[in-house]
Chain A
Amino acid sequence: MSAVPTTPGAPGAAGTPGIEAQRTGRVRRFLGRKRPVTVIVAASVLGLLVLAAVTADFVRPMDSRGINLARSLEAPSLAHPMGTDQVGRDLLTLAVHGLRLSFGVSILAAMGAMAVGALIGVAAGTLGGRADGVMMRGIDVFQSQNHFLFAILIVVLFRPTLGGAGAIALSVAVTHWVQVARIVRGELLSLRERPFVQAAVNGGVGRARLATRHFLPHLIPQLGLAFVLMMPHAIFHESGLSFLGLGMPPDQASLGNLLSDSRRSLMLGGWWTAFFPGALIFIASLCVGVVGEYVRERSNPRWRSELEL
């Protein structure tokens, strides 16, 4: 069969440019065409939330959190933009401090997951062979299970010694290391095949140097992104566990605890006691998710399935 000889540089699949143009990222498919706008909005809101959490002590110092039964369950007003709770505490004050607590615990938790995941990923990637196979199988089994149920068990078992924040962090670490381990292992395996690593090995570069000079620089941006994408999970775990009364101690104003407290107020008509703390959880994790997924879509399209909520 003699075909028309194709000249070099002939435009590839120009016959279907429409289809080519449709192949766009996930964030865009989810959130519409104006993706930079959506992402910018999400990033700004996130920035505001972080700022509010960091400056909580200056903006709404804790002493205004004082109990005042005369102001019990006041609807949102100028003085109390989010209203007051059943014992008359200013909900905005509680919420920004809760936000700080939730962010803090979540960062701790995500860091725990990164540490465990990185360790196991490196182990699987370097040991290779049988050990690697067994580990990956274990990962498969573990990943298919429900994380929240396991987290409850862990929190119950370890809260007496580690305290609320520690137990939550541990529970997230134990249930969410899997994705990180996969990334680390995958990166390690693909890196071993790269020519410059081969060259370094042949050139007699030691293991430690190889790890710090070649492996880490490739891994750090990936781990950073994984960290960001882990945050919504961690926020969800903190608030969910606290809401069930299994997370932060009840006297601490975490967002989950605020929601838990709101249950009685709701029956008395105080919708704001539930609405605002929950909305903060929602908006915080949504914004982190949008920004994180946008960055991933740009930098790392091949992860698609990993690190999904």
Chain B
Amino acid sequence: MPAIEARALSVGFRTERGVVQALSDASFAIERGETLVVIGESGSGKTVLAHALMRLLPRNVTLAGEVDLEGQPLLALPEDEMRRVRGRRMALIPQGAGSALNPVRRVGGLMLEMARVRGLGQGEAREALDGSLRELGLSFQQVAERYPHQLSGGMQQRVVNAMAMVGEPSVVIADEPTHGMDPELVDTTAEQLGMIARRGAALLVITHDLRLAERLGGRTALIYSSYIVELRDTAAFFSQPEHPYGRALLGALPEHGGVAIPGVSPELTQLPRACAFAPRCPARFEPCDEAVPPMFPLPGGGEARCYLHA
């Protein structure tokens, strides 16, 4: 049984300009100890995926599809029970550790509160936190009496990671974990993420950093205009993407010639009832404009949302 599984998950926001379709028909499963990296350009629906899995969405949202956590359906869960899932069984490493730590609370108190929410006693919580922090090269004592702004960026990140690790959640979701980091910090963060996966959690990493994705391995899901368009082994994806968007994307990297993709991505309020990439696609043919392509299995494993592979 996968640690987490999404089936046909769709997320829309009702706004004054109409419904913004942020995620469409997303299906994937992650086993414990496995890593899935979700990549896509900003505004393509990645962060919404993280928040939808944890059900941390504003009230103007419409959700469809199913999410199972270790076989237990999550979307129908009452909010009270969902709260007990958060943190304990499913942890989030948010984008920007600095802004995720409450500026007027001491780090120790903050960490203890969040650990105790998971049902740990005071002593246990302290021990568990100290344990995770030590794995990341810090100790509870070092940070407990400080305020978040008194820690360096790297320390803040480790504090946040340690909080996610406490209580051995089965799923850890990292949302843009390297956003705005210098290369050195990216290295250590990548290592720490690898460690979380090795400890047995299902790791979902959301990023727009292709190097990080390549480094983390596992599988990669590529998102374009709210759709997962390719879901494959990371190494295979980076050596030979199968979806035309994936190819164009890698081709746009400086080392591959830096050819920009012509055209613009569609507005999420007006997604076509067809392949969203078709207007920009060099391989476009008749079926592309008729219906949204489903995910087609690829011969070498994985799937792509493209009629070329029908």
Contacts and interface: CB of A to CB of B under 8 A. Distances in A.
Interface in A160-212: none
Given A12-B43, A13-B43, A15-B48, A7 B264 contact: yes
B57 A18 contact: yes
Contacts of B42: 4, 6, 10, 15
Contacts of B45: 14-15
B164 to A, nearest CB: 21
A3 B43 contact: no
A17 interface: yes
A137 to B, nearest CB: 32
Interface in B95-110: none
A263 to B, nearest CB: 49
A213 B249 CA distance: 53
B267 interface: yes
Binding site secondary structure of chain A: loop
B24 to A, nearest CB: 13
Interface stretch (B65-73, B81-89, B126-134, B204-212): B204-212
Interface in A1-35: 1-22
A21 B19 CA distance: 11
A43 to B, nearest CB: 23
B61 interface: yes
Interface in A123-181: none
B177 to A, nearest CB: 13
B47 interface: yes
A199 B43 CA distance: 40
Nearest to B48: A15
A18 B5 CA distance: 25
Contact of B209 (A1, A16, A19, A20): A1
Given A14-B20, A15-B43, A19-B58, A7 B211 contact: no
23 contacts: A1-B186, A1-B211, A2-B210, A2-B253, A3-B209, A4-B39, A4-B41, A4-B42, A4-B210, A6-B41, A7-B41, A7-B264, A7-B265, A9-B264, A10-B42, A10-B43, A10-B44, A11-B265, A14-B45, A15-B45, A17-B22, A21-B16, A21-B60
Given A2-B253, A14-B268, 18 more contacts: A1-B178, A3-B208, A4-B210, A5-B41, A5-B249, A5-B253, A6-B42, A7-B261, A10-B44, A14-B22, A14-B43, A14-B45, A15-B48, A17-B22, A18-B15, A18-B60, A19-B58, A21-B13
